[in-house]
Structure 1
Amino acid sequence: MTAGTGIGSMPGDTDAAHAEAVRLVLGELPDLPHVPEVPGRGAWASMTARGLAVLDGLAADLQPAGWRLTDVSGVDHRRARSLLAQDLDTVEELAQGYAGTFKTQVAGPWTLAATVEKPRGDKVLSDHGARRELAQALAEGVRVHLADLRRRLGGVDRWIVQVDEPALAAVVDGQVPTASGYGRHRSVDLPEASAHLEWVVTAISEAGGEAWVHSCAPRTPWSLVAGTGAHGLSADLDVLGPADLDVFAEALEAGRTAALGVVPSLDPATDVSDARLTERVQRWLEMLGLDPELVGARLAVTPSCGLAGATPQWAARAVRLSATVARNL
């Protein structure tokens, strides 16, 4: 059966907004709820901060220029870890008795390398050894994180870990700005880009989880992502090119999951109906020559990207539309 789910982020700037988001996804996405993220609460709740909170063996702190690796965790890194634990306490409390599949999200190794600085400045991306160490720390940290989630929600029999890589396209295209802003970091060779992501995907699998990789950025190298062994590919349908369609078709035919971002992630100017969105997915499958009845169980329907920039009203509607389109399919 096709499932509806969310990408991760939700609007709001308070802990109460996070609790409401948990109630929303549990109530409206019964087949595949997820751990909501509410980045509007500050830098400690951002995607980068959540990724750093999961790292095993590396410390960080928040500087005026952004997050930076350090020898000892600063107050902001400790606060990010505390906020993640607090959010998981809320999920644990409100999801008591839940049984089935659950999804969580973590920033990927290349997105972290492109957004976090080394101890002496400039991005981790600029240093071969530093980016390797960061990816390995993330892989080990995900193992521990998944064990914690299993302990908290014992009724979940299938954990999906969505690895968010919005910066992967810029990393392999050499488009990540240097600290000065006047230059660009050199592009990362595809074998290295694949290996670092594969370490995280493998760690998730070895810990008993199912790895999906998500990006709503254009030019994401989906053939590289598929080659890491990720079980799920999650993308905004609007930004997939012809070559990407082949990758998604091959993934579905091989028994993997395709999470299709079709519901607008920002408040639309005109009304959006579940019938039109359903028809769009059906046309997409028809274009790929895939039978909806044969691949339907391997599809998921999502918003096109995170919902942090939406109004609370549209975010709730987008979640419900994702579930409705999934049921229609």
Structure 2
Amino acid sequence: MTTDPAPTTARDSVSPLAVDPAEAARHGLAPAAEPAEPGRVRALVGGTWRGLNAAEAALATLGEAGDAHWPLLPELPDRGPGAEPVGRTAALLPDLAVDLQPHGWRISPPGARSNGMDHRRATAHLSEDLHRLADTAGAEGIGIDRLAVRVVGPLSLLGSLWLPGGERVAVDAGARRDVAAAWTEGVAGLLSRLRTEAGARRTALWIDEPLAAAVLAGALPTASGYRTVRSVPRDEARTHWRAALAVLAGEEARASGVAPAQVWIDAGRRGCSAEEGPGPAELALLASEALPTPVAPAADDGRSGSAAQTVGVALDAPDPDVPAGPAAWDVVGGWSEAGRPLAIRHVAGRGPAALMRDVERVGLDPALTVGWTMMGPAVVGKEALRRTAQAADELEDRRTDLAG
């Protein structure tokens, strides 16, 4: 029996390639095998938008990303509490109720309703973003082959969330453990939603850790402001990252029938002076120590070795002529030569031409930039998205010219 086809959206028509009839269908997750695609320099197209129009942001993001680049699920914090990064991420935590207090997002006291107004509002904002993206893609006839999302990382969430007693989660070892475990479970569920609700066959995760250095240095102020929170041990931080990455991008993902997500750890130094705490190179080293076991590549991405890494770091485009430049280039070179992906933040004055000149200047093989992803500014508009995609395209052209 045949029926007339009905109009669909991306949420209604997930590609058969994206769903395994057995395990994946039961869990809403994609199978480990994906169709091969050639490696190239890509862009992470998206970020924080001004205004309230989720549909406009979705259309611009999908349009500028095209087939070659990663569209990033738009964020519209102007809609109010729960639409900003911390609230959006906190609402993902399963079995942990959160609410908004004057000093920030708090884990609700025992016995509090798990679906309070603040939590429901944050959840609704995220659902709207996903649905708008899927509906826009369906209306425009755009297939969502790949989709990325940004979340606040576990270390920064420990420094941003507050306990019922009025101190940061970072002060309590048991609370840190519970929040980190809930973060992993919640983010895994979010990646599943990218596949089932938006139809994405490939997913990527931008783990934004702006407070990583401050958490590790013990630089965050207590509630009173007179003292600082004791530093989280680096061994513990490494453990939190490693446990999360194993589930999201390592062999545990493969074992459960899930295509590992592409992940970038963006560890920053907000709230930490230049003299205290780990620098970018130390944070990158800590991330490398938390890497999961490499998984077999799902695509011919142009990188050497029998297995491709799916986890990398994000950093600003380094300038070799500033004091911190050589150390940053050591990070870029080390990660690139190891076949690990990198996200390079496109900054003013460090365009593709200058970047590729620096690649050759520091002795890095230009062919290794195939694992790079260009990132744009934090606050975006359509023109900023276009410039980021163009920067990636230009860098890719220069890479292929030098390789030829």
TM-score by length of 2: 0.71
The aligned counterpart of 1:268 is none
Q: Distance in 2 between matches of 1:105 and 1:158?
A: 15
Post-superposition CA distance 1:265-287 (Å, at most 9, x none): xxxxxxx7xxx611222133224
Deviation at 1:238, TM superposition (A): 5.4
The aligned counterpart of 2:50 is 11
The aligned counterpart of 2:158 is 113
Contact residue 142 and residue 200 of structure 1 kept, 8 A:
no
Q: Distance in 2 between matches of 1:190 and 1:40?
A: 35
AA aligned opposite 1:45: A
The structure 1 segments of at least 4 consecutive aligned residues displaced by more than 4 Å after TM superposition are: 238-241
Contact residue 285 and residue 291 of structure 1 kept, 8 A:
yes
Aligned partner (choices 248, 257, 270) of residue 204 of structure 1: 248
Report the aligned-residue RMSD.
2.0
Deviation at 1:318, TM superposition (A): 2.0
AA aligned opposite 2:207: V
Aligned partner (choices 365, 371, 380) of residue 291 of structure 1: 365
Secondary structure of 1:44 counterpart:
coil
Aligned partner (choices 52, 55, 64) of residue 28 of structure 1: 64
The aligned counterpart of 2:333 is 249
Contact residue 46 and residue 71 of structure 2 kept, 8 A:
no
The aligned counterpart of 1:316 is 382
Aligned partner (choices 72, 81, 93) of residue 123 of structure 2: 81
Aligned partner (choices 255, 268, 284) of residue 222 of structure 1: 284
Deviation at 1:60, TM superposition (A): 0.5
Larger radius of gyration: 2
Q: Distance in 1 between matches of 2:248 and 2:362?
A: 30
Post-superposition CA distance 1:149-188 (Å, at most 9, x none): 111233x322111111011011112111111112111122
Deviation at 1:32, TM superposition (A): 1.3
Secondary structure of 2:368 counterpart:
helix
Shift in alpha-carbon separation, 1:22–1:169, aligned structure 2, 3 A: same
The aligned counterpart of 1:2 is 41
Is 1:152–2:200 an aligned residue pair? Answer: no
Shift in alpha-carbon separation, 1:187–1:245, aligned structure 2, 3 A: farther
Contact residue 162 and residue 213 of structure 1 kept, 8 A:
yes
Q: Distance in 1 between matches of 2:106 and 2:85?
A: 14
AA aligned opposite 2:357: R
The aligned counterpart of 1:41 is 79
Shift in alpha-carbon separation, 1:84–1:279, aligned structure 2, 3 A: same
Deviation at 1:19, TM superposition (A): 1.9
Deviation at 1:99, TM superposition (A): 4.1
Q: Distance in 2 between matches of 1:50 and 1:204?
A: 19
Deviation at 1:198, TM superposition (A): 1.9
Shift in alpha-carbon separation, 1:216–1:59, aligned structure 2, 3 A: same
Is 1:194–2:238 an aligned residue pair? Answer: yes
Aligned partner (choices 78, 87, 90) of residue 132 of structure 2: 90
Q: Distance in 2 between matches of 1:261 and 1:143?
A: 25
AA aligned opposite 1:231: V
Secondary structure of 1:5 counterpart:
strand
Secondary structure of 1:289 counterpart:
coil
Shift in alpha-carbon separation, 1:182–1:241, aligned structure 2, 3 A: farther
Give the number of the structure whose residues are more often helix, by fraction: 1
Where does structure 1 lack aligned partners over 5 or more consecutive residues? 265-271
Shift in alpha-carbon separation, 1:234–1:76, aligned structure 2, 3 A: same
Post-superposition CA distance 1:299-324 (Å, at most 9, x none): 11112x411xx6xxxx3222111111
Further displaced range: 235-244 or 165-174:
235-244
Q: Distance in 1 between matches of 2:363 and 2:49?
A: 34
Secondary structure of 1:43 counterpart:
coil
Further displaced range: 205-214 or 193-202:
205-214
Contact residue 251 and residue 258 of structure 1 kept, 8 A:
yes
> What is the 5 A alignment of 1:49-64?
49-64=87-102
Is 1:132–2:177 an aligned residue pair? Answer: yes
Contact residue 148 and residue 206 of structure 2 kept, 8 A:
yes
Secondary structure of 2:49 counterpart:
coil
Shift in alpha-carbon separation, 1:117–1:86, aligned structure 2, 3 A: same
Further displaced range: 233-242 or 28-37:
233-242
